[in-house]
Amino acid sequence: MSADLKKFLSTPKGQLIGALCALGVVWLVLLIYFGSEFLGGLPSADNLEDSKRELKKQQRLLEKALEEERAYLALREKYNEKIRTAWLESRHGMVETQLRQIISETATKLELKPNSLGTVRTSRINEDFYFAEIDIAMNATYEEVIKFIEAISRCKPKLSWRRLDLRPDFRRRFARTNNTNLAAARAAAVQDQNATSVMFNGVIRVIGYDGKAPVPEARGTASGKTAVPAKSPLPGKTPAPAADNNKGAPRK
């Protein structure tokens, strides 16, 4: 090394230039040894396409999961609604006595007298719900029967018909037209045509709930807030232990 170079490197400016040259050499060595790995880590066109396909696949899986969750929540809400609209002994009393009383009072308000009103019988739907049914039979006009059916449909909790049978009451019509004077009999039949009596009988049914899960709150509350549906068990799932709000003898 010449004397001039040594003298230059001994100055601050020379030392700075020497340090920069050494740093450049280090970077060159690092680039030679690790450059291939660094460049290999950059995404290529094929890698980008694979990533896009994988992203779309995950998006489809997410959409499917969200759709299944919405379907489950909708099913759970329907189940909760069934509980809220069912016969609850804590609210409506013993179904074996109160259901018969409701039907009897409904007929009395319409000035109807059933020929027969059976006893309430129950049968299980699943571990949470049951059917309660009662037979009824009466003679009335078409108009009276329609009014009675309409009144039953307005009862709370909701009542439905398992079976409904309407037949003309020929015995009553023949009794009214039993006249030796044929002309008078025909006149009486025509006059009574719009008030023809029918034999009416059917089975009235209500769905009751006596499960262990508490009765879920309705969607809307008095404060305007939306109540969170209770996590009531779906059919086939064992409910978690909870306080029994619907005490009563278990039904078979």
Comparing CA positions, the residue from 7, 3, 32, 31 lying closest to residue 18 is 7
Tens of pLDDT, residue by residue over 36-85, are 555 555 566 777 888 889 999 999 999 999 999 999 999 999 999 999 99
DSSP secondary structure code for residue 44 in this structure: -
Largest CA distance in the chain: 158
pLDDT-derived band of residue 252, with 50, 70 and 90 as boundaries?
low
Cα distance between residue 216 and residue 128, in whole Å: 14
Per-chain mean pLDDT for the chain = 78
- CA distance linking residue 159 with residue 155, whole number of Å: 6
| 246 burial via Cβ count (<10 Å: 0-12, 13-18, 19+) | buried
pLDDT, greater one: 30 or 182: 30
pLDDT of residue 229: 42
Q: Are 208 and 93 in contact (CB under 8 A)?
A: no
Q: Which CATH architecture has domain 46-252?
A: 2-Layer Sandwich (3.30)
Query: What pLDDT, on the 0 to 100 scale, is given for residue 217?
Result: 80
Kindly state the tokens that stand for 99.
């259901």
Structure tokens at 231: 């996590």
Name residue 229's amino acid. P
Here the tokens at position 134 are 């009662």
**How much is the pLDDT for 29?**
73
What are 214-228's pLDDT values in tens digits? 888 876 554 444 444
**Is residue 139 within 8 Å of 197, Cβ to Cβ?**
yes
Q: Which residue has tokens 């009765």?
A: 215
**b/e string for 173-182 if b means 16 or more Cβ within 10 A?**
beeeeeeeee
CA 67/CA 141 separation, integer angstroms: 52
Count Cα atoms within 13 angstroms, Cβ side, for 120. Answer: 20
249 φ, ψ (degrees, to nearest 5): -65, 135
Secondary structure class of 215 (helix, strand, coil): coil
Q: Which two tokens stand for residue 105?
A: 């009072």
What percent of the chain is modeled with pLDDT above 90?
47
Strands 116-117 and 129-141: antiparallel
